[in-house]
Chains A and B, each alone.
Chain A
Amino acid sequence: MLHSQEKFYSMAAQIKLLLEIPEKIWSAMEASQYLHATQLYLLCCHLHSLLQLDASSSRYSPILARFPILVRQVAAASHFRSTILHESKSLLKCQAVSDQAVAEALCSIMLLEDSSPRQALADFLLARKSAVQQLLNQPHHGAGIKAHVCSLMELLTTTLYQAHALFYTLPEGMLSDPSLPCSLLFSMLETTTSQDPAGKGIHVLKEEMKLSSWFKSLPPSIVEFQPTLRTLAHPISQDYLRDTLQKWINMCSEDIKSGLITLLVYVKSLKGLAGIRDAVWELLTSESMRQNWDTVCRRLLDKSISFWEDLLRQLFLDRLQTLTKEGFDSISSSSKQLLILALQELEAKSSTSAPSKHTQFEHNMALFLWSESPGDLPPDAAWVSVANRSPFAKSGLSMKAQALTPCVQSFCSALDAKLKAKLDDLLFYLPADSSTPKETRGVQARNSAFDRYADAGTVEELLRDHCVACIQYVLGCAREELQKSCSGITVLPASSTSWAVLEKSCRALFMARLCQSLGELCPHLKQCILGKSGSTENGMRETRSSKKLGKGKAQEVNPMQAKWQEVKEQLLQQSLFAYQIWSSAVITVLVHRFTQTLLLDTAGSILATATNWDEIEIQEETESGSSVTSKIRLPVQPSWYVQCLLFSLCQEVNRVGGHALPKRTLQLLLKTCLAEVLAGYEKLVEEKQEKKGSFPMTQNRALQLLYDLRYLNIVLTAKSEEAKASRSKQDSRIEKVTDFLEANIDPFDLDVFTPHLNSGLNRLVQRTSVLFGLLTGAENQYTNRSNHLSSQEPHNILPLASSQIRFGLLPLSMSSSRKTKSAVKTTENPTQVPPPSVITAEETFRPGSLFRQLATEEGDTATPSLFKLGWLSSMTK
């Protein structure tokens, strides 16, 4: 009886417990104590079996029959399993949970599903993978990308940490580090399932329950209930753990990479990228993340691992590359547009009536140079000395000194501003202070998760390459335009001496100046190419190396410096090429006119270009020994067309800013000009030799031509060393022409004339040394100081007709001419018009020999006109 009563109480207690357990499970669930809930659930299942409430035997269960309420209880309890499983698994997906919680959740799953630790590991990793997926698929908003990437990193890191904490078991004999717990799962499993009666394990039923009176009646199997695992929970082997984790990491990497690529598209600037990178760095460098990371990695994977290096770095670099490329592409295309626009504006000058001042300046540099403008002197001009000028603030005056027109300036500043924006953006990605010594950076690196600035070199390289490519593109556009205008010039027939050719060459000039000054006016271009560190270091090195230039170039050339030099060289070449187009256009036009005049072969045209000759008295010894004074006449001025050619050439050079014209271009201009001029003379010689011309080569003409040629040769011969080589070739050509001309001069005369001719030539060269100084250069300018002007020297060099004869007028009354409406009484000749009211012939006669004569013979009216007679007599023949 006692037994049965006990049994009854026991039963009752069990039922009571059974009734209470769901509530406890719920509260455990609510407290996220899934392990406890699981234990309770398992206890519940145990109770079911004790009370024979299992579904299989329930129909026959006498208890069930007596307590129908239990049916519902059983039914309700069956839901718990799935609920707990679900909750546990979803807990696994959360990253911000403690190791303990994860371990409990995993325990629950293992207990409920009766799975192995490997299975648990798989569950865990799967859950985390899906968490990654979830993060990647979450809708994001522009600014949230940083947080997104950070949480991804955090998830990955914590997962590894937790994998270590839960699944890793220390090899035998190693002492566990209290700060770095591990194999939490196994110890938990052990405590949960330990059958040790001593009860050191966690008992399912809490103490407070033990206070209830009915607790005493529970059978010991209930009281000391511990869940059991069907299979023994063997610790996971290290190899398996490593392989699984590695696989998982690889898998996640793929997902993350593809996911991040789409994410990073929304990052539009290097600044944004740098922000994300820095956030990741801060996250990974933080104490909690950083402290045991290397140990954990080594234990788990036998190697150190850096998610930045493995995952993000390349992605960031790719994105950076894309951004840089896009940026420079846009700079390239906008520069092209700007170039085309500027060229169109230049061309518009001829069509529209009022060109802008800037365009005018572009067409005439002298106008720009000699017009004072308010921007010439910056407000602090008096304070900043020449050496201290900043490369970024250019005064108008220095622009004028360098012959950089406003059009060129505006193009360059536009380009420079864009480059500056790019550069500034990039600086965010680079270490803020490059001057930090490497040692301290090394120390920092040891403490940080990764070297944030490891890519600095690559990034700068990237910038450099893109920048160079951009400049190449701009250069290419310029070249294209040049070729266009070049062909435009050649298409025009040489005879179109209209200034259309020179107008066209204005485009070439613009580009020549642009290329010439791009390096100078775009300081950021240099910075882009030299890099941030390069610009300062190399600046110093540059000056140093220039100082010891004489010591040979032992110093290795910095590649960046070399690149910059290369770009500069390309710009220079392009500029020279453009200048060459201009110079050939100028020469074509000017020399064409020159040659045309030179080859005109009629007396009138030769007369038209004739100059006044000097008469020189010379003393000669005759054969008898007495000295004879004779006068010789020699040319003292080159023909007008020669002077006109030189003057126009100077004007053209001045129009493009002769003081800043590259020496090479000027030399080339002179050389080509001389060659072309010589070709003209050679043609003349040829024609003469074939006796084609109608006018003979007289001595006088030959003398003048000789003088012209010598003068041209002196003025147009470049004085530099460089030109000497080519001079010899032209010298022989000149000699040929000279020989021909001298052959037309009496040899005795030539002997007498030559010294005088030469001295006159030298004097003239000195006298025009400043006027044609743009061509001849600064030499021999002062030599003529001693050369005093003789007062006797004739001032007029224009030959005038010395006719003293005045033409008489017919005695005509003005009335007849007044009848016509166009009574032109020109103001120039009021004196010559006969007085209006003249009746008799005598009165109209003006004083003058012929009319006086006429007056004397007037009376002889009977005599017929001699002229008439002469005519009549000829008629009769």
Chain B
Amino acid sequence: TFMRDAEEIASSRRMNSLTLNRHTEILEILEIPQLMDTCVRNGYYEEALELAAYVRRLERKHASIPVIKGIVDEVRQSSQLMLNQLIQQLRTNIQLPACLRVIGYLRRMDVFTEAELRIRFLQARDAWLQSIQASIPDDDPYFHITKTIEACRVHLFDIITQYRAIFSDEEPLLPPGEHAINESAVFHGWVLQKVSQFLEILDSDLQRGVGSRLESLLGQCMYFGLSFSRVGADFRGQLAPVFQQVTIGTFRKAVQEAVDKFHDEMNSYTLISAPAGLGSTIPVQVPTAQPGTLQPPMVLLEFPPLACFLNNILVAFNDLRLCCPVALAQDVTTSLEEALGKVTKTILAFHRAEEAAFSSREQELFGRCLQVLYPPAQIAQTLGVAPTQLHKYGSLGCVDVNVIKEPLAFLLPVREAPFTPAEEKEPAQESPAPAPAPEMPGPEQGVELRVPEEESSECAGDVLQPDGPLATA
């Protein structure tokens, strides 16, 4: 047994001396995790990558040795930390050179496919952009949208530039398979997503109302879109419908409010108090409309609800004027006509209800009110086509002022003829007069315009009847 013991001792001594000789190497290996950790924490990613590569080789060769396994585990954790740190850097306000470095490291780590790397990059940059957007105070819609535009214009542009500097979008040399991931589409999709998000924010802020600053906002948005045309994302075409919608929405709301208010006032209106208005005491004279000027007929002051209605409508017009898309001509006209139609109906109802109590003077007054109802309509339509440069488009299709004026100018007198012989007090709405229609000059776009006007004018004609004999008498 001595021999055996001696052999054992000798071999263990040999092992120990070998260990002693290789002490430094072994120590180095054992210290790798610590070193790696230090590298990662201090941002020496270059060295960290080398260490990781070395450990990976070690793992491949000696995966069965528990000590190596332990080292590998620790290094693995450090690499994970490094990965997270790198991605975290992308989530900050990082400049292009730093971006290039980070992506370089990520590429060398070889943990993402190309598509994944792109997604990861855009996700991280997106997170940063969103953090900026989220920090914009949301109290005032105008302020919010302005700041959002600014942030997007600057930072989104930066991100796109960074992306393009980092990633190449050249078509891969190999023909991709049927289900290959289209890497450039990742970017396109992201830009589209961002633009859609911006449009959503714009829409919601506009819905909340930015008041009279719509035009300046439109300008800013258009500049924003134009600047994006440099990166191939000119989205101005998407802005137009948004602004059109908001404008017409605002206008419709204002008109509706005016109509409601008129209706309310009519309910509490009595003719007795009416003549106290300015109109009856001070005969107001209104000059002919000079070119470039528009004025409301003072006569309307005799009839306060109507005057008030007119004022409200005019206020709405003035708002619209600030940012008035030509495209809305038809919509504005239609909504105005609808409003006028409602107002006329209200007046007619009032007329019928109070008829018995009407004195001739009151009737006259009422009639006069109705006569003057049309000037606002005229103004309205004039405004609808106010952009006179439309005529430069030739017959591209605009609401022709003359065409609208004409029926209005003619209608009242023309209407008289068919109605005078008609039975008295016949409600006009039930028998829409077919006669005027052919007489009217066929306006190019007349269909929509014609119907409500007829109705209104019939009402007018009906009510005017008492005046007919009066005038002839």
Asked if residues B328 and A608 are in contact (CB atoms below 8 Å), the reply is yes
Asked if residues B397 and A606 are in contact (CB atoms below 8 Å), the reply is yes
B452–chain A nearest beta-carbon distance, Å: 14
A182 to B170, CA, bound (A): 87
Q: Which residues of B contact A309 (CB under 8 A)?
A: none
Asked if residues A663 and B413 are in contact (CB atoms below 8 Å), the reply is no
A200 at the interface (CB under 8 A from B): no
Most buried by B among A696, A800, A807: A807
Asked if residues B386 and A801 are in contact (CB atoms below 8 Å), the reply is yes
Task: Type the 1/0 row for A798-838, where 1 means its CB is closer than 8 Å to any CB of B.
Answer: 11111101111111100011011110101111001110000
A127–chain B nearest beta-carbon distance, Å: 61
Known interface pairs A382-B109, A877-B413. Does A810 touch B238 (Cβ–Cβ under 8 Å)?
no
Which listed residue (A637, A773, A819, A868) contacts B268, Cβ 8 A? Answer: A819
Asked if residues B317 and A660 are in contact (CB atoms below 8 Å), the reply is no
A602 at the interface (CB under 8 A from B): yes
Q: Which residues of A contact B398 (CB under 8 A)?
A: 603, 607
Known interface pairs A798-B218, A867-B375. Does A874 touch B412 (Cβ–Cβ under 8 Å)?
yes
CB nearest to B115 among chain A residues: A401
Task: Type the 1/0 row for B248-290, where 1 means its CB is closer than 8 Å to any CB of A.
Answer: 0010001001001100110010000000001000111111101
Asked if residues A659 and B183 are in contact (CB atoms below 8 Å), the reply is yes
Asked if residues B319 and A768 are in contact (CB atoms below 8 Å), the reply is no
Stretch of B3-11, B146-154, B190-198, B431-439 contacting A (4+ beta carbons < 8 Å): B190-198
Asked if residues B416 and A875 are in contact (CB atoms below 8 Å), the reply is yes
A436 at the interface (CB under 8 A from B): no
Q: Which residues of B contact A817 (CB under 8 A)?
A: 261, 265, 308, 311
Asked if residues A654 and B331 are in contact (CB atoms below 8 Å), the reply is no
Asked if residues B383 and A382 are in contact (CB atoms below 8 Å), the reply is no
Asked if residues B80 and A800 are in contact (CB atoms below 8 Å), the reply is no
A254 at the interface (CB under 8 A from B): no
Asked if residues A381 and B111 are in contact (CB atoms below 8 Å), the reply is yes
Q: Which residues of A contact B298 (CB under 8 A)?
A: 810, 854, 865
Q: Which residues of B contact A868 (CB under 8 A)?
A: 299, 371
Asked if residues B287 and A857 are in contact (CB atoms below 8 Å), the reply is yes
A640 at the interface (CB under 8 A from B): yes
Q: Which residues of A contact B444 (CB under 8 A)?
A: 603, 694-695
A700 to B329, CA, bound (A): 18
CB nearest to B308 among chain A residues: A817
B384–chain A nearest beta-carbon distance, Å: 9
Known interface pairs A611-B240, A819-B268, A857-B287. Does A606 touch B396 (Cβ–Cβ under 8 Å)?
yes
Q: Which residues of A contact B268 (CB under 8 A)?
A: 819-820
Q: Which residues of B contact A233 (CB under 8 A)?
A: none
B window 16-56: CB within 8 A of A: 52, 56
Asked if residues B226 and A795 are in contact (CB atoms below 8 Å), the reply is yes
Known interface pairs A608-B331, A771-B195. Does A871 touch B399 (Cβ–Cβ under 8 Å)?
no
A545–chain B nearest beta-carbon distance, Å: 15
Asked if residues B232 and A828 are in contact (CB atoms below 8 Å), the reply is no
Stretch of A61-69, A325-333, A366-374 contacting B (4+ beta carbons < 8 Å): A366-374
Asked if residues A401 and B181 are in contact (CB atoms below 8 Å), the reply is yes
Asked if residues A805 and B413 are in contact (CB atoms below 8 Å), the reply is no
A window 767-814: CB within 8 A of B: 767-774, 777-779, 781-782, 784, 787, 789, 793, 795-803, 805-812
Task: Type the 1/0 row for A326-343, where 1 means its CB is closer than 8 Å to any CB of B.
Answer: 000000000000000000
Asked if residues B184 and A773 are in contact (CB atoms below 8 Å), the reply is yes
B318 at the interface (CB under 8 A from A): yes
Q: Which residues of A contact B383 (CB under 8 A)?
A: 803, 807
Asked if residues A382 and B315 are in contact (CB atoms below 8 Å), the reply is no
Task: Type the 1/0 row for A833-877, where 1 means its CB is closer than 8 Å to any CB of B.
Answer: 110000001000000011101100100111111111001101111
B324 at the interface (CB under 8 A from A): yes
A876 to B472, CA, bound (A): 7
A787 to B178, CA, bound (A): 34
Stretch of B93-101, B120-128, B131-139, B344-352 contacting A (4+ beta carbons < 8 Å): B120-128
Asked if residues B287 and A854 are in contact (CB atoms below 8 Å), the reply is yes
B193–chain A nearest beta-carbon distance, Å: 5
Q: Which residues of B contact A603 (CB under 8 A)?
A: 330, 396-399, 444-445
Asked if residues B314 and A609 are in contact (CB atoms below 8 Å), the reply is no
Interface residues of B, dominant DSSP = helix
A513–chain B nearest beta-carbon distance, Å: 11
A651 at the interface (CB under 8 A from B): yes
Task: Type the 1/0 row for B282-305, where 1 means its CB is closer than 8 Å to any CB of A.
Answer: 111111101011111111110010
Most buried by A among B127, B235, B237, B310: B237
B425 at the interface (CB under 8 A from A): no
A805 to B285, CA, bound (A): 22
Q: Which residues of A contact B287 (CB under 8 A)?
A: 853-854, 857, 866
Asked if residues B189 and A654 are in contact (CB atoms below 8 Å), the reply is yes
A400 at the interface (CB under 8 A from B): yes
Asked if residues B285 and A822 are in contact (CB atoms below 8 Å), the reply is no
CB nearest to B239 among chain A residues: A798
Asked if residues A806 and B115 are in contact (CB atoms below 8 Å), the reply is no
A780–chain B nearest beta-carbon distance, Å: 9
Stretch of A167-175, A219-227, A383-391, A465-473 contacting B (4+ beta carbons < 8 Å): A383-391
A764 at the interface (CB under 8 A from B): yes
Task: Type the 1/0 row for A638-679, where 1 means its CB is closer than 8 Å to any CB of B.
Answer: 101011100100110110011111111000000000000000
Asked if residues A602 and B189 are in contact (CB atoms below 8 Å), the reply is no
Asked if residues B294 and A377 are in contact (CB atoms below 8 Å), the reply is no
A701 to B393, CA, bound (A): 9
Q: Which residues of B contact A810 (CB under 8 A)?
A: 296, 298, 300-301, 307, 310-311, 314
Known interface pairs A370-B122, A861-B285. Does A824 touch B79 (Cβ–Cβ under 8 Å)?
no
Asked if residues A778 and B171 are in contact (CB atoms below 8 Å), the reply is yes
Known interface pairs A398-B113, A654-B193, A773-B188. Does A660 touch B182 (Cβ–Cβ under 8 Å)?
yes
CB nearest to A815 among chain B residues: B304
Most buried by B among A801, A817, A861: A801
B366 at the interface (CB under 8 A from A): no
A854–chain B nearest beta-carbon distance, Å: 6
A766 to B231, CA, bound (A): 9
CB nearest to B293 among chain A residues: A850
Q: Which residues of A contact B82 (CB under 8 A)?
A: 382
Asked if residues B257 and A824 are in contact (CB atoms below 8 Å), the reply is yes
Asked if residues B379 and A797 are in contact (CB atoms below 8 Å), the reply is no
B window 433-473: CB within 8 A of A: 444-445, 447-448, 467-468, 471-472
Known interface pairs A607-B397, A866-B286. Does A366 touch B169 (Cβ–Cβ under 8 Å)?
no
Q: Which residues of B contact A377 (CB under 8 A)?
A: 83-84
Q: Which residues of B contact A651 (CB under 8 A)?
A: 192, 196
A848–chain B nearest beta-carbon distance, Å: 8
B201 at the interface (CB under 8 A from A): no
B321 at the interface (CB under 8 A from A): yes
A window 245-274: CB within 8 A of B: none
Known interface pairs A397-B120, A401-B113. Does A800 touch B325 (Cβ–Cβ under 8 Å)?
yes
Q: Which residues of A contact B413 (CB under 8 A)?
A: 871, 874-875, 877
Asked if residues A800 and B229 are in contact (CB atoms below 8 Å), the reply is no
Most buried by A among B304, B327, B371: B327
A832 to B375, CA, bound (A): 20
A871 to B410, CA, bound (A): 10
Binding site for B on A (CB under 8 A): 366, 369-370, 372, 377, 379-387, 397-398, 400-402, 516, 572, 602-611, 637-638, 640, 642-644, 647, 650-651, 653-654, 657-664, 694-696, 698-701, 764, 766-774, 777-779, 781-782, 784, 787, 789, 793, 795-803, 805-812, 816-817, 819-822, 824, 826-829, 832-834, 841, 849-851, 853-854, 857, 860-868, 871-872, 874-877
- Contacts A387-B110, A816-B308, A826-B315 aside, 15 further interface pairs with beta carbons under 8 A come to A379-B80, A381-B83, A382-B80, A647-B237, A654-B193, A658-B188, A700-B396, A768-B234, A795-B226, A798-B325, A807-B318, A812-B301, A828-B212, A875-B413, A876-B472
Q: Lowest 6 CB-CB distances: which A-B pairs, in order?
A: A604-B330, A603-B397, A773-B188, A643-B237, A801-B387, A770-B232
A sample of 10 cross-chain residue pairs with beta-carbon separation below 8 angstroms, ordered by A number, consists of A386-B113, A602-B445, A603-B397, A698-B396, A796-B218, A796-B222, A807-B383, A808-B296, A810-B311, A812-B311
